[in-house]
Amino acid sequence: MDTPFTGRAMDRSDGPLKVCGQARYAAEFTLPRMVHARLVLSTVPSGRLQRIDTRAAQAVPGVLLVMTHENAPRLPKGGKAAVEPPAGRVLSLLQDDEVHYNGEPIALVVAETLEQCSEAAQQLVVTYASPSTPAALDFEQARRTAHAPKEVQRQKPDTSRGDVAAGLQAASQVVSATYTTPVEHHNPMEPHATMASWNGEKLTLYDATQYVSGVRDTVAKTMGISPEQVRVVNPYVGGGFGCKGSAWSHVVLAALAAQRVGRPVRLVLERPQMFGPVGNRPHTEQVLSLGADAQGRLTALRHEVASETSVMEDWVEPSSLCTRMLYACDNVVTTQRLVKLNIATPTFTRAPGEATGTFALDSALDELSYALRIDPLEMRLRNHAERDAHKNLPYSSKSLRECYRVGAERFGWARRDPRPQAMRDGRWQVGWGMATATYPTNRSPAQALAQLLPDGTAVVQCGSQDLGTGTYTIMTQVAADALGLPPQRVRFELGDSAMPKAPVSGGSQTAASVAPAVRGACTALRERLVALAVADGNSPLHGQRADAVTASDGWLRLTADPKRGEPMAAVLARQGGQAIEAHSESKPGPEREQFSMHAFGAVFTEVHVDADLGQIRVPRIVGAYGIGRLLNEKTGHSQLMGGIVWGVGLALMEETWRDPRNGRFVNANLADYHVPVNADIGTIDTLVVPEDDPHVNPLGAKGIGEIGITGVGAALANAVFHATGKRIRDLPITLDKLL
């Protein structure tokens, strides 16, 4: 039997288009008579719009429209018809004069050229009426009125099992500490961009999004039109990381502006506006209390999370979720609280909750291991959870012990001197740290369409998205195996809401959701072709049983006699030369009620800290992961490596500064918002341990887009402590905190 294409380290099928500049992103589509738009954002954190003087702006040559709350079209339910948090957001659509945060959309300018548009936007004169109460910008002050959200990703905000108080009292050692993570912003290379075009009552949106079907449904519902009247196109995404998972205000505003001017409108957010109305990772404050007996086994665990949200809606950074299931402990309490501020609503940011939560949890566990004089890796092994105690379910599969073993072996953990500040390399203090990685395995319904063309090639479609993760390539491999075609003869298409529906490309679920639908459609198509062949009197396979026929390399052959067969195209030629097709829908079954489904991993890091200057270097990171079946070894490594790089940014660099006087972000650009670059990254070694999981989905594949970032923050913080003897509990770890 031929070796399957799925799992191979196949080059990206979309790679040549990208390196040749032929892959078109949302802002690169053009239409006849297209014009440009620019958002105008508020400069105060709260209040009302007393007046917007548009006279100077309208006098700029080429200006076609200055849209404000005074002349914007009225929308059903004040523009809130599609609000279903956390994905369907409360948008700012110029429906009233209220200002909720600094950086909120308050106007839209449309002009013939981008330059005219930018000039006119600067000519607007805005007068604000002061609010009756001061804006809420102080987290500590506002947390006095913190409240519990209704739910946290379909779970209760507060959980409790056992008796934490008794567990802490019985412990030989207790660690209690507070850990904080800052506001962070996604900075994909491609900014948010939308082009809106109307043809009668039909709207087409070329939008930079992680969810073409979601944008279609949200825009339609917000504007009070049928989803069938809206088409969203997005074949390539230049990075998203969560910020493009929802339809934001600029998308609907572009559609309204195009409707008003009667021409296609392109709206691209400027880089500083990427720090405005399109979400971010919120600030968190996490209080951990851990108790353990003399052997290092946890007797109690309390995790209290407070995170910021906007006054417009609740959005939860679910940092407590991993604590509920990651380690074995009979006595666990977790709480989630929200602190309302006059800020933009936060949103999904790569591994929301798990990235921030594992930093706090695994830092605290590291502190406990030092207090007990137990090796940090041994500490985790002694508290390995054999089942999910929170859900009271077995794991569908779990290779964490093997991840610990192979990761430690590759890293050389056994050579570590356990004493802080004991390892040096000249003037550099050397530290080794480790932590656990985890991310839930998600899956949603998805549909696919497969067509076999008369020339023997195939086209497979699914209205999914490729954020650069390799979806085009992976689905081509899956389709090729199911059809019995070489990948070069399969064209996979996505990025269009007119195609069969797929879920959001978020929550690391695209491969796990779309691949089963693609395989199902291609399998059905192959079976239909075989049925045509065995029923055809002119086929060399006539009269054979369908299950005795194999599809391989574009041929149908008798399994017992491979010389007996014919090309797939020949079957179609005798059927009139018409394409044939098949549809499929794949969706989860009852397995989620029977198993707890997670990917796991172990992260080992080495840091060098300049003893005099406090500078931190990261020469190497080893990550070992149990992620089910890896669908492409090459793109899989890329995803895990990219997640680890994000973890370096989380731990050492990324932080958005908000002016406490006016709520304005002061480093809203790529010069002052620091992200890792090549010079910051040393050797990254990723290992995937063999893992068979028949329960998560028909292919046994777990999502890998986000697990890579989890655990890295804690592993680096733990390594910094090992190097310096200084425990930094507030991210990012910068030299001023070490000196």
Beta bridge partners, 63, equal: 111
Q: Is the peptide bond before 732 cis (omega within 30 degrees of 0)?
A: yes
User: CA–CA separation, 568 vs 490, rounded Å?
Assistant: 13
- How far is Cα 87 from Cα 248, in angstroms, rounded to an integer? 10
Is 706 in the active site?
yes
Kindly list the strands in the beta sheet with 173-181, ordered across the sheet, starting from the edge strand earlier in the chain.
Answer: 159-161, 332-341, 298-310, 284-292, 173-181
DSSP secondary structure string, 550-579?
Answer: EEETTEEEETTEEEEEEEHHHHHHHTTS--
Alpha-carbon Rg of the chain, whole angstroms? 27
Q: Which of 308, 354, 581, 706 is catalytic?
A: 706
Give, as one character, the DSSP assignment of residue 132.
S
State how far Cα 447 lies from the chain centre.
21
Secondary structure (H, E, C), 391-413: CCEEECCCCHHHHHHHHHHHHCH
418: burial class by Cβ within 10 Å (0-12, 13-18, 19+)? middle
CB-based contacts of 284, cutoff 8 Å, min separation 6: 180, 181, 305, 306, 307, 308, 317, 319, 356
Q: Is 284 helix (H, G, I), strand (E, B) or coil?
A: strand
306 strand-pairing partners: 285, 337
Peptide bond into 86 cis (omega under 30): yes
CB-based burial label for 548 (10 Å; 0-12, 13-18, 19+): middle
What gap in Å lies between CA 6 and CA 699, rounded to an integer?
10
How would you write 580-605 as a 3-class SS string?
EEEEEEECCCCHHHHCECEEEEEEEE
Taking the alpha carbons of 708, 711, 713, 717 in that order, is the dihedral positive or negative? Answer: negative
Which residues form the catalytic set? 706
